[in-house]
Amino acid sequence: MRTLKTQVGIVGAGPAGLLLAHLLRLEGIDAVVLEAKSRQYVEERIRAGVLEQGTIDLLNEAGVGQRMMAQGLPHTGIELLFDRQRHRIDLSELTGGRQIMVYGQHEVVKDLIHARLAASAPLLFGVEDVRVADFGSSAPKLLARHEGEEFEWTCDFIAGCDGFHGVCRDALPDSARTVFERVYPFAWLGILVKAPPASDELIYASHENGFALFSMRSPEITRLYLQCSPDDDLANWPNERIWSELDSRLATDDGWQPNVGEIIQKGITPMRSFVCETMQSGRLFLAGDAAHIVPPTGAKGMNLAVSDIRYLSRALTSYYRTGDETGLLHYSTTCLKRIWRAEHFSWWMTSMLHRFFDHSPFEQRIQRAELNYFSTSRAGRTAIAENYVGLPWTD
């Protein structure tokens, strides 16, 4: 057994764990990051790709925004499509100039891994059997196996950034953990297509066959999603069926259509809303997907992980600079305000745009009336815009 020491032990090298390690390093705070998967796996894992204004600013301030600014696609609006009509939500005009950036989450992950390795800071991939212990004491421990050898890190704090299927949330004592959850009666089938995006902006479509989303990754790659059944199998979705459903659900009276091309990736993502309260116990803190999940309709997943890390890095920095523990004591309460705002927005966008096959004709009409109001009234569009670009941080 090798015994080592660090200030902050971080489990998981997704956006949450990597950003925390980076922000702490800028403050001269040591950390080790332990990741179960390989570097290639995490760098190629395709996830969502919409960064809020606050996320863009934070990555730039942290010095890891160069490639995002060069290769990301800034967007000043999104569109809602229903009854064959497109309705533009002018994000910038409605929010005093704020905007979003389309830049894949795995690209953010690549940038953060590159920064950490370039600084020769500890980041281990392929780590097995990670355990957390003694976080009720002032010397919590992180244990793991790496390349056949057992390791034990004695830390000041542990950050559980290990995603929804990680081990840290389950380590919280039952008395510290209440779970709030909704599982939706549908999933998203996502495809990556080798074809230039046919629109400069994202299009969220509500159709009687189900929801569809037109998005993009780069000037050469289109990203598309279709609402499907939660227990669907990719085998049920040959390419012809995918294109025919996209054709129906994205049809417009103005003749717009996505460009067709080779499908280079296909996957099905389940949809759930999930929050774990609290997000801390003793010296163990959860952040990102380890503590909460949103359905992807509001594009909030990575932005919420970034928000948690902003609070956690500030709280840890205050503690190391001045011994002030206030930020750490209030970490969970502070994060949860923004988390529940995003949970509401993501649930609401999901409910407004998807087809619920058990809805009565009355409920279908009500849903359409809501979509109509929020697309055409300035007040409605402003509510969507300010949530979509992300409400400014006030603390």
Note the residues at the interface with ligand APR (CB under 6 A). Answer: 11-17, 34-37, 42, 47-48, 105, 127, 130, 161-163, 165-167, 288-290, 301-302, 305
Binding characters for ligand PHB, 238-277, by CB under 6 A (x = yes): ----------------------------------------
Q: How many residues bind ligand PHB (CB under 6 A)?
A: 9
Instruction: For the CB of residue 11, give the shortest distance to ligand APR in the complex, in Å.
Output: 5
* Closer by beta carbon to ligand PHB, 168 or else 246: 246
Catalytic residues: 75, 204, 296, 300, 388
Q: Which of 48, 193, 336, 371 binds ligand PHB (CB under 6 A)?
A: 48
Stretch that binds ligand PHB, among 116-124, 239-247, 250-258, 295-303 (CB under 6 A): 295-303
* Closer by beta carbon to ligand APR, 117 or else 366: 117
Binding characters for ligand PHB, 165-204, by CB under 6 A (x = yes): -------------------------------------x--
Binding characters for ligand PHB, 303-342, by CB under 6 A (x = yes): ----------------------------------------
Instruction: For the CB of residue 299, give the shortest distance to ligand PHB in the complex, in Å.
Output: 4
Instruction: For the CB of residue 178, give the shortest distance to ligand APR in the complex, in Å.
Output: 20
Q: How many CB atoms lie within 10 A of CB 315?
A: 20
* Closer by beta carbon to ligand PHB, 6 or else 297: 297
Backbone angles phi, psi at 74, to 5 degrees: -70, 135
With CB under 5 to 8 Å by kind, the binding choice for 163 among ligand APR, ligand PHB, none is: ligand APR
* Closer by beta carbon to ligand APR, 81 or else 101: 101
* Closer by beta carbon to ligand APR, 88 or else 182: 182
Question: According to the binding rule CB under 6 A, does residue 50 interact with ligand PHB?
Answer: yes
Question: According to the binding rule CB under 6 A, does residue 354 interact with ligand PHB?
Answer: no
Question: According to the binding rule CB under 6 A, does residue 297 interact with ligand PHB?
Answer: yes
Question: Taking the C-alpha atoms of 312, 315, 321 and 323 in order, what is their torsion angle to the nearest 10 degrees?
Answer: -130
With CB under 5 to 8 Å by kind, the binding choice for 49 among ligand APR, ligand PHB, none is: ligand PHB
Burial of 365 (0-12, 13-18, 19+ CB in 10 A): exposed
Amino acid at 343: E
Reference 226, options 268, 260, 196, 257; nearest CA is 268
* Closer by beta carbon to ligand APR, 65 or else 166: 166
Q: How many CB atoms lie within 10 A of CB 38?
A: 11
Binding characters for ligand PHB, 198-237, by CB under 6 A (x = yes): ----x------------x-------x--------------
Geometric angle at alpha carbon 97, from 95 and 102, rounded to 5°? 95
* Closer by beta carbon to ligand APR, 88 or else 141: 141
Stretch that binds ligand PHB, among 47-55, 173-181, 303-311, 356-364 (CB under 6 A): 47-55
With CB under 5 to 8 Å by kind, the binding choice for 36 among ligand APR, ligand PHB, none is: ligand APR
3-state secondary structure the chain: CEEEECCEEEECCCHHHHHHHHHHHHCCCCEEEECCCCHHHHHHCCCCCEECHHHHHHHHHCCCCHHHHHHCEEECCEEEEECCEEEEECHHHHCCCCCEEECCHHHHHHHHHHHHHHCCCCEECCCEEEEEECCCCCCCEEEEEECCEEEEEECCEEEECCCCCCCHHHHCCHHHCEEEEEEEEEEEEEEEEECCCCCCCEEEECCCCCCEEEEEEECCEEEEEEEECCCCCHHHCCHHHHHHHHHHHCCCCCCCCCCCCEEEEEEEEEEEEEEEECCEECCEEECHHHCEECCHHHCCHHHHHHHHHHHHHHHHHHHHHHCCCHHHHCHHHHHHHHHHHHHHHHHHHHHHHCCCCCCCHHHHHHHHHHHHHHHHCHHHHHHHHHHHCCCCCCC
- Applying CB under 6 A, the residues found at the interface with ligand PHB are 48-50, 202, 215, 223, 296-297, 299
